[in-house]
A and B are shown apart, each in its own frame.
Chain A
């Protein structure tokens, strides 16, 4: 089968568009705001042979970048050895088991074979983050679970749709085990409809170019994606680069978890070795293998955004299986923190290693936390229970070209945070402040972006506050001489008394009464390069905008600012000393 360059490029664009349309269809029809607004979902096309990734939506949630190929592969293997019923046309499998190529239980995956001439041509699969999956905590983000059973309903691959019709019995089992079940039917229909949109578009491509041509193109595209990634790697200097990143604690045992990473360049491949990382932990900050791999892939895609997402692009990225560490958790280790927090620490380790190899491409560490704050309680004025989620952003890392962005989204996400006005409409809370966190950006030649400082007061009734955040112990790392960004802080004022969670960034079920307040400061981004090399005029501007105090300008940047502007002589003296 010979393929010309034009057909190849055309098929690449068409497959990509198929996935983008699936993403769009899923978001627009979904009920869960996590999917519809926050785009916490992803859609892709996978190989019929081994589930490897053929194409994936460009606006899918980054953390899913490598995950679904693992779950699809697992389904294919389980069908082959008889553990899962073989598919018929119109069947859709549902699965959320983290240990079968997943993330946490809330990420529910659908997988559907696409049939051509009575045979499976490929698989379409998607993942959506359901707002609840049962378990001890509404929403599923427990800070202190010690086994996966406490985290919610775990589904092995089963057929939710059989020959095109939903199985009411499986649906009933699911609905009996999750909260706000009445709206899930809308999400399930949306998730399945997206797969059908993809199938329709895929058939158009196959009809137009011929099945054989498309098969050949897929193989060739995979080869070329690998080549493209190899070309990037080959351009890096020779060497190996070490980095460490730390998770504050697992939520149960109050000790930091270490991610130790060595990246070694071997010709045109990169080998990622996590030996020396902490052992599996008691609390929910374990990562399953699929999530660990995905975190490496998404970090590399942040670094090389123009390499198409496909199994080929991952080929030259060799991740040594981190057996015996918390990055390769086995049943029944709790894992609810892996997608939101641990994956971001893994990405931070990758950034911190790679910035040494490619300083012009990689940023200092971003805030890298989803900033989950959940408040659950009863609103006496409305006579009903509620669960409120406040997610928040933080500063991005400085980089060769620019200062970091302020209040950016988590590394693994693309979701917007909710408006204060919408939160106050829906829940009995009052925001006293929602502000840029001054001084939080790590100092550097290019400084980090700023985090967020917010303060929420409970207006009525009683409630319980839970936090799953990170970077409370160590701030996001500066790079190449830049300083770390400010650490995350949580302070709860109960009856006027300040309470700081012993684990700093994680605690579950802190009881609150009306008038109690929660203060959160999110991390600033790491600084990039020596802060004493920062243009004093930029420091002056930062001070006049109130980002830093004059004192910080002198201490962090060695810039003396007087009434009239920069005191050059004094600045020179400060920077010399």
Chain B
């Protein structure tokens, strides 16, 4: 089977050859953003394996993500309850940042393609005014004549009573030439008209784009002899047949980061580390997620950019606006600042040789010997380390009385502290003890900073997987099939009807099992997990409480909630009643276990540590140059034990062990770093 992930820069492929004794093939090709299928085909070609003989392809794509962020969307129309067509443009009265009264916002659907019909349902679900069916037909025709390809029907309180939306969709379906009709309640059956409306709008606006992409990819695969169904990753970390994926296309919007987190959870579980903070550092941003008990945290409240919420269950990945390309500068008060400005991928850091002139974190790593200066030669217009160092000296050192190396050291240190702070805000400061967590570092730049970040965060160890640069593709390979269900209850625990609550969970399970049964591949087993979103009556924030079974009782809910609340806030509130807001179920079709031990070819491993050592070069740690051994990661003996300082290099990632660190390799080829204090 093959996992193929399309990222911002590279398309990664990981192919496991069952017949070949689990041999692993890896390919990395540039992402082709106009039609990602080209890059996928190039990766398949590079893997040099007969495509017709692959029995399953699992695919992660950023087609819909890019479409939304770059607003290259299908022309989409919207029909709303009379008086409410502006909801998706008005939002919730926000601005992009706390300070600064400026900003730009472009709604997913422009105002002239948003029409209204007479109809009204009350909050209780009671119909106040019937649907004007003639008006509905006319509105649909107007949008069709305006060249719309997809349609959203978004009525107030449709989560309470979807009858009008359903009838309106029937009317539209009789006229609309394709199936691209999204009703608000079908994706998200929850109150909050702005969030539901935007979610539905995004879904509709990316549907035709995803459909075309899937069709093109299928065609290209068929041309190479692959005739089976393929699976596509969703943002919830599960995968779904390409035949069904477009119906809920919005779920793919955040799938890229989700697959990396899934791979982390899987790798960590095998390695014996179930509590992870995952950390994927790229050029402009860093994705952070929390995994507890080998389960990635899931959120229904992701905002992919300013005023663009997608409220669907998705792996809770927080994006921190700092990465290798973050630019360092000295501000007017003489203090060094790193970011938030970024050199991005173009021109990128100075050392990329694409014309970048601002010193970045990546450049600092180079000056300090952490990145291999030889690699500089492989870029188009090579820049010397001396030249980069001179930039640090001039732009950072002059005002702070530091030489070029010390200035680069300062930038690295500050960059790490800023990043650690941002990571802390979205992970351990949410009530978790950092000592229970392991930092899972991936992406090309993640392992470069992991040890230093773990120190900053108080995390005792770091796990660097065998192939940090293709973690997302690994996520495709190991992902399960997953369906999530949410039902809003919103009642005090004391007033709950236990039998009804159990029936809700039973219905979730049945529905999920039914969906998995329709898939082309069958799972090894089905795993069902339930949880409750709860709060004290009167609160607005929710706490997610895992439920041990579907046989819930009021007393059990109360007890579990109080425990979870205390663990999170160290506050007990016996005075106040608890309330059950949502019941959630995820039904997972678990696929057969995948052996990761061949991700690094055992045959390539050296017998001794010395056999893996490439060179010794000076690397700057804590203000001093250390003669540091540089190892080829793939040659490390399987039982290697290492002491920092040391650097491990591999095709697409560099791992830095700081002085004082102890590290070893495990059976899957992971490097575990016990962080020195």
Known A406-B90, A424-B123, A434-B84; contact A399-B102, beta-carbon cutoff 8 A: yes
Q: Which of A58, A190, A298, A392 contacts B571 (CB 8 A)?
A: A190
In the complex, per-residue mask of A221-236: 1 if CB is within 8 Å of any chain B CB, else 0:
1001101100110000
The stretch from A2-10, A94-102, A489-497 touching chain B is A2-10
Interface presence of B500 (CB below 8 A)? no
Q: Residues of A within 8 Å of B, CB-based: how many? A: 85
The stretch from B57-65, B221-229, B327-335, B633-641 touching chain A is B327-335
B648, chain A: closest CB distance, angstroms: 27
Which B residues, 525 to 546, have Cβ-Cβ distances below 8 Å to chain A? 536, 538-541
Interface presence of A470 (CB below 8 A)? no
Q: Which of A5, A302, A436 contacts B99 (CB 8 A)?
A: A302
B82, chain A: closest CB distance, angstroms: 8
CA distance in complex: A544, B114 (Å): 12
Determine if B101 and A434 form an interchain contact, defined as CB atoms under 8 angstroms apart. Answer: no
Determine if B123 and A185 form an interchain contact, defined as CB atoms under 8 angstroms apart. Answer: no
| 30 sample A-B contacts, Cβ–Cβ < 8 Å, listed by A number | A9-B336, A9-B337, A13-B417, A16-B421, A20-B425, A28-B541, A59-B98, A62-B98, A186-B536, A189-B573, A190-B571, A193-B571, A224-B335, A228-B332, A228-B333, A305-B99, A393-B90, A408-B95, A411-B101, A415-B93, A420-B156, A421-B159, A421-B191, A421-B193, A424-B157, A430-B120, A434-B87, A434-B90, A436-B86, A544-B112
A437, chain B: closest CB distance, angstroms: 9
Q: Collect the chain B residues with CB atoms within 8 Å of residue A14's CB.
A: 417, 421
Q: Collect the chain A residues with CB atoms within 8 Å of residue B122's CB.
A: 424, 430
Interface presence of B244 (CB below 8 A)? no
Interface presence of A444 (CB below 8 A)? no
Which A residues, 1 to 31, have Cβ-Cβ distances below 8 Å to chain B? 5-6, 8-10, 12-14, 16-17, 20-21, 24-25, 27-31
Determine if B402 and A363 form an interchain contact, defined as CB atoms under 8 angstroms apart. Answer: no
Interface presence of A306 (CB below 8 A)? yes
CA distance in complex: A182, B570 (Å): 20
The stretch from B103-111, B280-288, B549-557, B668-676 touching chain A is B103-111
Determine if A363 and B123 form an interchain contact, defined as CB atoms under 8 angstroms apart. Answer: no
CA distance in complex: A60, B98 (Å): 8
Determine if B98 and A183 form an interchain contact, defined as CB atoms under 8 angstroms apart. Answer: no
CA distance in complex: A422, B84 (Å): 15
Show the binding face of A for B, using Cβ within 8 Å.
5-6, 8-10, 12-14, 16-17, 20-21, 24-25, 27-31, 33, 36-37, 58-60, 62, 182-183, 185-186, 189-190, 193, 221, 224-225, 227-228, 231-232, 298, 301-302, 305-306, 351, 363, 366, 391-393, 396-397, 399, 401-402, 405-409, 411, 414-417, 419-422, 424-425, 430-436, 452, 455, 544-547
Which B residues, 401 to 430, have Cβ-Cβ distances below 8 Å to chain A? 401-402, 409-410, 413-414, 417-418, 421, 424-425, 429-430
CA distance in complex: A62, B100 (Å): 11
Interface presence of B17 (CB below 8 A)? no
Determine if A5 and B93 form an interchain contact, defined as CB atoms under 8 angstroms apart. Answer: no
Given contacts A305-B97, A414-B94, A455-B83, 5 further A-B contacts (CB under 8 A): A5-B401, A12-B335, A397-B101, A408-B94, A416-B94
CA distance in complex: A21, B575 (Å): 26
Q: Collect the chain B residues with CB atoms within 8 Å of residue A224's CB.
A: 333-335
Q: Collect the chain A residues with CB atoms within 8 Å of residue B192's CB.
A: 419, 421-422
Q: Which of A36, A193, A408 contacts B569 (CB 8 A)?
A: A193
Q: Which of B111, B157, B414, B539 has the most chain A CB within a 10 Å cutoff?
A: B539
Interface presence of B518 (CB below 8 A)? no
Determine if B191 and A546 form an interchain contact, defined as CB atoms under 8 angstroms apart. Answer: no
B339, chain A: closest CB distance, angstroms: 11
Q: Collect the chain B residues with CB atoms within 8 Å of residue A432's CB.
A: 83
Q: Which of A20, A33, A183, A392 contacts B93 (CB 8 A)?
A: A392
CA distance in complex: A24, B429 (Å): 9
Q: Collect the chain A residues with CB atoms within 8 Å of residue B570's CB.
A: 193
Q: Collect the chain B residues with CB atoms within 8 Å of residue A62's CB.
A: 98-99
Which residue from chain B places its CB closest to the CB of A39 in the assembled complex? B98
Determine if B104 and A302 form an interchain contact, defined as CB atoms under 8 angstroms apart. Answer: no
Q: Collect the chain B residues with CB atoms within 8 Å of residue A5's CB.
A: 334-336, 400-402, 410
CA distance in complex: A351, B101 (Å): 10
Q: Collect the chain B residues with CB atoms within 8 Å of residue A28's CB.
A: 430, 541, 569
Determine if B105 and A225 form an interchain contact, defined as CB atoms under 8 angstroms apart. Answer: no
In the complex, per-residue mask of B119-138: 1 if CB is within 8 Å of any chain A CB, else 0:
01011000010000000000
Determine if B573 and A10 form an interchain contact, defined as CB atoms under 8 angstroms apart. Answer: no
Determine if A435 and B83 form an interchain contact, defined as CB atoms under 8 angstroms apart. Answer: yes
Q: Collect the chain A residues with CB atoms within 8 Å of residue B111's CB.
A: 436, 545-547
B541, chain A: closest CB distance, angstroms: 5
Q: Collect the chain A residues with CB atoms within 8 Å of residue B353's CB.
A: none
Which residue from chain B places its CB closest to the CB of A313 in the assembled complex? B333
> Lowest 7 CB-CB distances: which A-B pairs, in order?
A393-B93, A224-B333, A433-B83, A5-B400, A228-B333, A416-B92, A305-B99
CA distance in complex: A366, B102 (Å): 10
A461, chain B: closest CB distance, angstroms: 16
Q: Which of A9, A12, A432, A544 has the most chain B CB within a 10 Å cutoff?
A: A9
CA distance in complex: A5, B401 (Å): 8
Q: Which of A60, A306, A393, A399 contacts B331 (CB 8 A)?
A: A306
In the complex, per-residue mask of B76-92: 1 if CB is within 8 Å of any chain A CB, else 0:
00000001111101111
CA distance in complex: A232, B104 (Å): 25
Determine if B541 and A407 form an interchain contact, defined as CB atoms under 8 angstroms apart. Answer: no
CA distance in complex: A458, B44 (Å): 64
Q: Collect the chain A residues with CB atoms within 8 Å of residue B100's CB.
A: 302, 305
Determine if A13 and B418 form an interchain contact, defined as CB atoms under 8 angstroms apart. Answer: yes
A228, chain B: closest CB distance, angstroms: 4
Q: Collect the chain A residues with CB atoms within 8 Å of residue B538's CB.
A: 31, 183, 186
Determine if A10 and B335 form an interchain contact, defined as CB atoms under 8 angstroms apart. Answer: no
Interface presence of B593 (CB below 8 A)? no
Known A411-B101, A436-B90; contact A17-B191, beta-carbon cutoff 8 A: no
CA distance in complex: A401, B103 (Å): 9
CA distance in complex: A30, B99 (Å): 24
Known A12-B335, A193-B569; contact A363-B95, beta-carbon cutoff 8 A: no
Known A17-B424, A419-B191; contact A434-B98, beta-carbon cutoff 8 A: no
CA distance in complex: A5, B336 (Å): 7
Q: Collect the chain A residues with CB atoms within 8 Å of residue B401's CB.
A: 5
B637, chain A: closest CB distance, angstroms: 37
Determine if A409 and B123 form an interchain contact, defined as CB atoms under 8 angstroms apart. Answer: no
Interface presence of B194 (CB below 8 A)? yes
Which residue from chain A places its CB closest to the CB of B429 in the assembled complex? A21
Q: Collect the chain B residues with CB atoms within 8 Å of residue A231's CB.
A: 332-333
Q: Which of B86, B429, B569 has the most chain A CB within a 10 Å cutoff?
A: B86
Determine if B337 and A17 form an interchain contact, defined as CB atoms under 8 angstroms apart. Answer: no
Determine if B414 and A9 form an interchain contact, defined as CB atoms under 8 angstroms apart. Answer: yes
Determine if B99 and A182 form an interchain contact, defined as CB atoms under 8 angstroms apart. Answer: no
Interface presence of B19 (CB below 8 A)? no
Which residue from chain B places its CB closest to the CB of A18 in the assembled complex? B421
Interface presence of B576 (CB below 8 A)? yes
Which residue from chain A places its CB closest to the CB of B307 in the assembled complex? A405
Determine if B418 and A21 form an interchain contact, defined as CB atoms under 8 angstroms apart. Answer: no
Q: Which of B83, B95, B400, B539 contacts A31 (CB 8 A)?
A: B539
Determine if A21 and B84 form an interchain contact, defined as CB atoms under 8 angstroms apart. Answer: no
CA distance in complex: A119, B501 (Å): 55
Determine if B333 and A407 form an interchain contact, defined as CB atoms under 8 angstroms apart. Answer: no
CA distance in complex: A31, B94 (Å): 22
Q: Which of B84, B333, B539 contacts A225 (CB 8 A)?
A: B333
Determine if A425 and B123 form an interchain contact, defined as CB atoms under 8 angstroms apart. Answer: yes
CA distance in complex: A436, B430 (Å): 37
A497, chain B: closest CB distance, angstroms: 22
Q: Which of A5, A185, A298, A402 has the most chain B CB within a 10 Å cutoff?
A: A5
CA distance in complex: A237, B475 (Å): 57
CA distance in complex: A302, B120 (Å): 41
CA distance in complex: A185, B537 (Å): 13
Determine if A405 and B103 form an interchain contact, defined as CB atoms under 8 angstroms apart. Answer: yes
Q: Collect the chain A residues with CB atoms within 8 Å of residue B425's CB.
A: 17, 20-21, 24
Determine if B83 and A434 form an interchain contact, defined as CB atoms under 8 angstroms apart. Answer: yes
CA distance in complex: A503, B401 (Å): 61
